[in-house]
C-alpha cells in the first residue's frame, strides 16, 4: 500500500460568449486541485510505479530537466512512502538550485547532473545498465513517467466520471496520459492530445508503443500549438493565460495547460466542434514547477 493524495474528481464548467455562440459544452477536469506537487497526471503515472518499488524494495531512479514536474512529483511521492530516489538531471549543476530542484532535494531526492549529450542516452538499455552499476540496482522510471505501468494508472483518471464526452483533450509530452485516456474512454469519445513539443510522428509512435495490442478508442495528436517547441511560448500565449484566469478563475501555465486551453479555444473559434459537442479538458497540473516563470512573465 502506498500513500498518495486521494482522487475526488472536480469538473468545472467553462462558460463564455464563445461557448454560447458555438453551442458547445466545455468542461475542465481539475486534476491540478488534487495536490500542487503530486497532483495532476503525475499522481496516476506514479501510482503503480511506486507500488512496484515498494513491492520489490528497490529505490527509484528517474530523469528530468531543471524545471521538471515529474522530478519534483517523484521526489515528494517517494518521500511520502519512504522510498529512496535519484534524479538524473539534464545539464550542468547550477551554482544555486532553482525552487524545483531545491524542493526535490529537501524531499530527499539525490540529484545527479549530467551533460545534455549524456542525457540523450536516457532511454538506452546500455546507459541504464551503466547507471545501475554506478548507483546499484534501481527501479527505473522514464522521463515524465511515460511507461506502461504509468499508463495503467492514467487509465484510472476517467474511472469515477460517469458523464460521457464527445471530445477529451490532454497536453502531450511523453504520451502516457494520452495512451491511458485512449484505453479507458468510451468508444464514441475522440481523445485528442495537444503536443507541447516538436515531435510529429515520434509522439504518435510513442503512444502506439504504450497502447500496444490493447483496444483503444479513436485518438490523435494535434501538432499546431507547441509555440515553437517544449518550453517555448510568446506574448499571445501569456496574454491568453492571464485572460483565461480572470474569466474562469483557473490558473494555467505556459508549458502544458496554457497550450492545451489555447488550442481548444482556437479550435472553437474555427468551428472544429459540431454544435452540442461535449468537451472535457484535463488540467494536468504543473503549476509548482512553472510558478516563478509564470509570475515573472505576467508582471
High-pLDDT (> 70) share of the chain, %:
97
Residue 294 has what pLDDT? 46
* pLDDT value at 1 more than 90: no
The structural domains of the chain, ordered by start, are 11-37+157-297 (3.40.50.1100), 42-145 (3.40.50.1100)
Q: Which residues have a Cβ under 8 Å from the Cβ of 195 and sit 6 or more positions away?
A: 172, 203, 221, 222, 223, 225, 226
For residues 148 and 28, what is the distance between their CA atoms, to the nearest angstrom?
A: 25
Per cent of the chain over pLDDT 90 is 94
| pLDDT, mean of residues 158-173 | 98
For 126, residues 6+ apart whose C-beta sits below 8 A from its C-beta are none
Q: Could you tell me the CA-to-CA distances from 35 to 32, 38, 39, 142, 288 in Å, in that order? A: 6, 6, 4, 22, 10
For residue 94, the number of C-alpha atoms closer than 13 Å in the C-beta half-sphere is: 12
User: Over the stretch 128-145, which tens digit does the pLDDT of each residue have?
Assistant: 999 999 999 999 999 999
**pLDDT band for position 299 (cuts 50, 70, 90):** very low
| pLDDT tens by residue, 30-83 | 999 999 999 999 999 999 999 999 999 999 999 999 999 999 999 999 999 999
Degrees to nearest 5, angle at CA 288 with 282 and 291: 105
Considering the entire predicted model, what is its pTM? Answer: 0.95
Amino acid at each position: 500500500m502506498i500513500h498518495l493524495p486521494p482522487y475526488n474528481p472536480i469538473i468545472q464548467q467553462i462558460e463564455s460568449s464563445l461557448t454560447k455562440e458555438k453551442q458547445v459544452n466545455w468542461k475542465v477536469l481539475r486534476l491540478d486541485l488534487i495536490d500542487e506537487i503530486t497532483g495532476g497526471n503525475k499522481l496516476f503515472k506514479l501510482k503503480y510505479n511506486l507500488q512496484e518499488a515498494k513491492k520489490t524494495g528497490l529505490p527509484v531512479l528517474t530523469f528530468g530537466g531543471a524545471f521538471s514536474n515529474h522530478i519534483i512529483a517523484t521526489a515528494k511521492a517517494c518521500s511520502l512512502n519512504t522510498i529512496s530516489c535519484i534524479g538524473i538531471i539534464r545539464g550542468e549543476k547550477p551554482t544555486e538550485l532553482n525552487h524545483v530542484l531545491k524542493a526535490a532535494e529537501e524531499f530527499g531526492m539525490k540529484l545527479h547532473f549530467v551533460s545534455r549529450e549524456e542525457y540523450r542516452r536516457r532511454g538506452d538499455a546500455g546507459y541504464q545498465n551503466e547507471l545501475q552499476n554506478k548507483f546499484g540496482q534501481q527501479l527505473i522510471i522514464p522521463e515524465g513517467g511515460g511507461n506502461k505501468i504509468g499508463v495503467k494508472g492514467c487509465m484510472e483518471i476517467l474511472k469515477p466520471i460517469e458523464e460521457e464526452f464527445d471530445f477529451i483533450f490532454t497536453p502531450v509530452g511523453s504520451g502516457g496520459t494520452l495512451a491511458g485516456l485512449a484505453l479507458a474512454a468510451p468508444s464514441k469519445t475522440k481523445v485528442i492530445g495537444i503536443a507541447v513539443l516538436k515531435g510529429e510522428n515520434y509522439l504518435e509512435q510513442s503512444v502506439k508503443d504504450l497502447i500496444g495490442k490493447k483496444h483503444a478508442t479513436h485518438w490523435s495528436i494535434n501538432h499546431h500549438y507547441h509555440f515553437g517547441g517544449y518550453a517555448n511560448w510568446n506574448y499571445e500565449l501569456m496574454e491568453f493565460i492571464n485572460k483565461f484566469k480572470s474569466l474562469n478563475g483557473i490558473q494555467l501555465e505556459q508549458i502544458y495547460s496554457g497550450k492545451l486551453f489555447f488550442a481548444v479555444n482556437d479550435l472553437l473559434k474555427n468551428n472544429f466542434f459540431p454544435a452540442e459537442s461535449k468537451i472535457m479538458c484535463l488540467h494536468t497540473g504543473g503549476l509548482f514547477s512553472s510558478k516563478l516563470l509564470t509570475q515573472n512573465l505576467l508582471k
